[in-house]
Amino acid sequence: MMSYFGVGRSEEKDERKFSDRELTKKMIRYIRPYKKTIFFATLIIIVNTALNIAPPYLMGYVLDLAKTLDKPNSYVILGMLIFTNLLLNFLTWFLGEYLIRVITIKTISKTSRDIRMDMFQKIQRHDFRFFDTHITGKIMSRVMNDTDTLRDTLSFIIQLFGNILLVVSSAGFLFYIDWRLALISLSLTPLLFFIMYIYRKIVRNTMLNWRKTVATVNAAMGESISGIAVSKSFSREKKNLAQFRKINQDNFMASFKRALTFATMWPIINLLQTLVLIAVYVYGQNIIILQHAIEPGILYSFTLYLWRFYFPLTQVANFYSQYQAGLAAMERIFGIMEIESEVKQPTNPIIIPNLKGEIEFQNVDFWYNEDEPVFKNFSLKIKAGTKVALVGHTGAGKTTLASLIARFYEVKGGKILIDGVDLRQLDIPWYRKQVAIVLQDSFLFSGTIKDNIRYGRIYDDPTDEEIYAAVKAVQAIEFIEAFPDGFETDVLERGKRLSTGQRQLITFARALLANPKILILDEATASVDAYTEAMIQDALETIMEGRTSIVIAHRLSTIKNADVIVMIEYGKIVEMGNHEELLKKKGKYYKLYETYFKHQALL
């Protein structure tokens, strides 16, 4: 959106990590590949300005001449002048308007694309701490919107040079014509800047308030869309509308106040310029009539140069706040890119051929926040190929355990050994292919069912037969083929088209396709009804063969089948063994079984 005089730019007060100079240096790195083009553009601007300098002067000169000259061959001169001027018109348009615009848009679009790709790639390498601490919406805004702001700033900077040239050359002519008039007209320039400064301050306040109301309106909108089922089932539509009207009204007031500043600014600036003109005329007539110092036509040229001076000057005055906005955008962009990942690829990554899948935690410490430790001196050995069930209350650390095994986070103390090798020494991409995770929220991408399942081995390009086999094993064929488009059915955003249970099965097939050595099921089967779960149990038993399987579940049937049950409470192992052994102990597991699992039992 166009903002006048730099007033109304985003004035977010982000804490500055980088200095202006550092940011500018980083920016230049992205522009460097295009420096030839920029140099060419600069040349064009200089040529264009040069071409543009004389005409106003000539115009006044010719007007004066026309009154005194009336020889016939002045027509020839006139004809030539017209012709030259037409040519100049075209050249200045072609160079100054067309060519410059094309070069600018090409350069800044390419730069902006480079930055976006860079950001995206860096984000792919960030570890989970980054995603825990940054909201999705903010990340998106950085990659898509801040790069746009930056692009606008760049475009501005390129134009800046041309504008400065114009201002300087016009000022030069002003002084050339009459230094006294020049001084008078330039004297109002500081007043102009001052007014813009005042306006910026006023706008800042209205902007802040406006942003708040906008956020509220957006949130209300978003909720009404996502919560439509609930609204309908409670028949809340009318009430919601009434509430929304209030929010909307607040936004209206804030918007109106904000817009008022713009409505008043241009007229004031125009009035000022009129005053300058008046001053010039008043003094000018004195110079012309009394002092006979310049001709009227030249005075007219003067006014033309004045116009040519003030217009680019306002663009230049814009510069500071535009530059600030650009810096702020850069700050946010680089802030996202330059983040230290905890989980790093080792310098000499190890790949274990014929991985068996033995996992050992040795004195592991871990926390998300330093004052809330999850594991302290935690040790656990899981033999290769065993089926382990992790049991315990919410927050005991089961999910964390799974995340650590997958190396989504780094241990703070102690180590995790895979087949005897420290996890941190293993090649990360290779290792991740050996581990498959089925999460509780069954996230699907928008796309076909087949695409989603294929994702299990996306690096590998699995065949349709392999995909089909995985689907068959989890007994999902039935419902997939019930869709008119079958495997090619588009599941929509986040898999909206499928029911929770169906999504689960797909994520299951996906994990199956990945054929991992270590399988982690994080409360996966809990979201599925008993009937489906029964089917999955069968499939589970098949796929858990020949792998180390770690299941975090609350379902008795899953747990009963495990080779080892590990019960965790507040980051410590309280009991370990298989189902019968633990029941005999009549300890904590027994208690859990009695109060909870037993409800699921048949008898």
Partner 1 sequence: MNDFRGVRKITAAITTKQEPELSTLQLEMRKIPESEFKWLVQRIFQKPAMAITVIAGILVSIGLTMAVPYLTGRMFNRLWAIYLREQPAVFYVFFQRFFFEYEILKYVEAILLLGTINFLISIIVGILNEYLAQNAERQIREDFYASVQNKSMAFSDTAKVGELMSQATYDVRIINATISPGFRMITQAAISALVTFGLIFWLEPYVMIIVIFFFPFYIITLRSYAKKLSPLTQKVQQQFGICNAHLQENVSGVRVIRAFTGEAFEIKKFGKEVDILRDDIIKRGVQQARYFPPLLLSFTITLALGLSIYFIIIGRMDGGEAITILGVLIQLYNPTYQISWVLYLTHMGLAGARRILRTMKEEDIIIEKPDAIELPEINGKIEYRNVSFSYQRQHQQDLEENNSEDEYRPTLRDISFVAEPGEIVAILGPTGCGKSTLTKLLARMYDVDKGAILIDGYDIRNVTLESLRKNIGVIEQDIFLFSTTIKENIAYGAEREISDEEIIEYAKAAQAHEFIMSFKDGYDTLVGERGVTLSGGQKQRIAIARAFLANPKILILDDSASAIDAKTEEQIQKAMNNLLKNRTVFIITHRLATIKRANKIIVMRKGRIVAKGVHDELLRTSEDYRRIFGRHIQLPPIQKEATGGAK
Ranges of beta strands (E only) in 407-511 are 413-418, 421-422, 435-438
From candidates 529, 541, 545, 581, binder to partner 1 by CB under 8 A: 529
Nearest-5° angle of CA 346, CA 351, CA 356? 125
- Contact status, residue 525 vs residue 555, Cβ threshold 8 Å: yes
State the minimum distance, in angstroms, from the CB of residue 60 to partner 1: 10
157-165, 168-176, 218-226, 374-382 -> range binding partner 1 (CB under 8 A): 218-226
372 binds partner 1, rule: CB under 8 A: no
Taking the CB of residue 307, how many other CB atoms lie within 10 A of it? 12
Site for partner 1 in 536-555 (CB under 8 A): 537, 554
The interface mask with partner 1, positions 101-120, x = CB under 8 A, is xx-xxx--xx-xx--xx--x
Contacting residues for 337 by C-beta, under 8 A, at least 6 apart: 118, 119, 122
Q: What is the DSSP letter of 98?
A: I
474 touches partner 1 by CB under 8 A: no
Residue of 10, 37, 209, 224 that binds partner 1 (CB under 8 A):
224
Which residues have C-beta within 8 Å of that of residue 188, sequence separation ≥ 6? 272, 275, 276, 279
Q: Where does this chain touch partner 1 (CB under 8 A) — which range of 63-71, 357-365, 411-419, 573-581?
A: 63-71
CB of 381 to partner 1, least distance (A): 24
Among residue numbers 307 through 346, which ones bind partner 1 (CB under 8 A)?
A: 307
Asked whether the CA dihedral 386, 387, 392, 396 is positive or negative, the reply is positive
Candidates 189, 425, 446, 448: give the one binding partner 1 (CB under 8 A). Answer: 446
Q: Which of 39, 40, 131, 176 binds partner 1 (CB under 8 A)?
A: 131
Place of tokens 């083009």: 37
Does 371 bind partner 1 (CB under 8 A)? Our answer is no
Is 580 an interacting residue with respect to partner 1 (CB under 8 A)? no
Q: Provide, for the chain, the percentages of residues in helix, strand and coil under a 3-state DSSP scheme, each rounded to the nearest 5.
A: 65, 10, 20
Piece in contact with partner 1 (CB under 8 A), picked from 42-50, 170-178, 281-289, 411-419: 281-289
Look at residue 227 and give its three-state secondary structure.
coil
Reference 199, options 143, 264, 145, 274; nearest CA is 264
Beta carbon nearer to partner 1, 377 or 435: 435
Which range binds partner 1 by CB under 8 A, 25-33, 99-107, 162-170, 409-417? 99-107
Binding status of residue 40 toward partner 1 by CB under 8 A: no
Residue 463 found at the interface with partner 1 (CB under 8 A)? no
Give the residue, chosen from 245, 472, 584, 586, that forms a contact with partner 1 under the rule CB under 8 A: 245
Q: Which of 16, 221, 351, 545 binds partner 1 (CB under 8 A)?
A: 221
CA atoms of 298 and 58, how far apart (whole Å): 9
- Select 211 or 383, whichever has its Cβ closest to partner 1: 211
At 173, the amino acid letter reads: F
What are the helix (H) ranges across 475-555? 477-482, 500-514, 530-543
Residues 483, 488, 491, 494, CA torsion sign = positive
Would you count residue 197 as binding partner 1 (CB under 8 A)? Answer: no
For partner 1, the closer of residues 264 and 463 by Cβ is: 264
Residue type at 234? Answer: F
Asked if 178 interacts with partner 1 (CB under 8 A), we say no
| Residue in 523, 539, 550, 565 binding partner 1, rule: CB under 8 A | 523
Closest separation in Å from C-beta 22 to partner 1: 26
Counting contacts by CB under 8 A, is residue 85 touching partner 1?
A: yes
When the beta carbons of 162 and 501 are compared against partner 1, the nearer one is 501
| 198 lies in the binding site for partner 1 (CB under 8 A) | no
- The crossing angle, in degrees rounded to 10, of helices 500-514 and 530-543 is 0
The rounded distance, in Å, linking the Cα atoms of 273 and 63 is 24
> With binding defined as CB under 8 A, does residue 492 bind partner 1?
yes
Phi then psi for residue 478, to 5 deg, are -55, -55
Q: Out of 459, 464, 488, 585, which residue is the one contacting partner 1 (CB under 8 A)?
A: 459
Residue whose pair of structure tokens reads 């690829």 in the numeric block? 345
**Residue 290, number of CB atoms within 10 A of its CB:** 8
Stretch that binds partner 1, among 37-45, 174-182, 318-326, 450-458 (CB under 8 A): 450-458
Cα 129 from chain centre? 17
Kind of pairing between the strands at 435-438 and 518-522:
parallel
User: Which one, of 305, 327, 366, 284, lies nearest residue 571 by Cα?
Assistant: 366
Q: How far apart are CA 93 and CA 96, in angstroms?
A: 5
Pick from 20, 237, 338, 581: which binds partner 1 (CB under 8 A)? 237
Which one of the spans 158-166, 174-182, 212-220, 462-470 is the region binding partner 1 (CB under 8 A)? 212-220
Least distance in Å: CB of 172 to partner 1? 22
Closest distance to partner 1 from the beta carbon of 463 (Å): 17
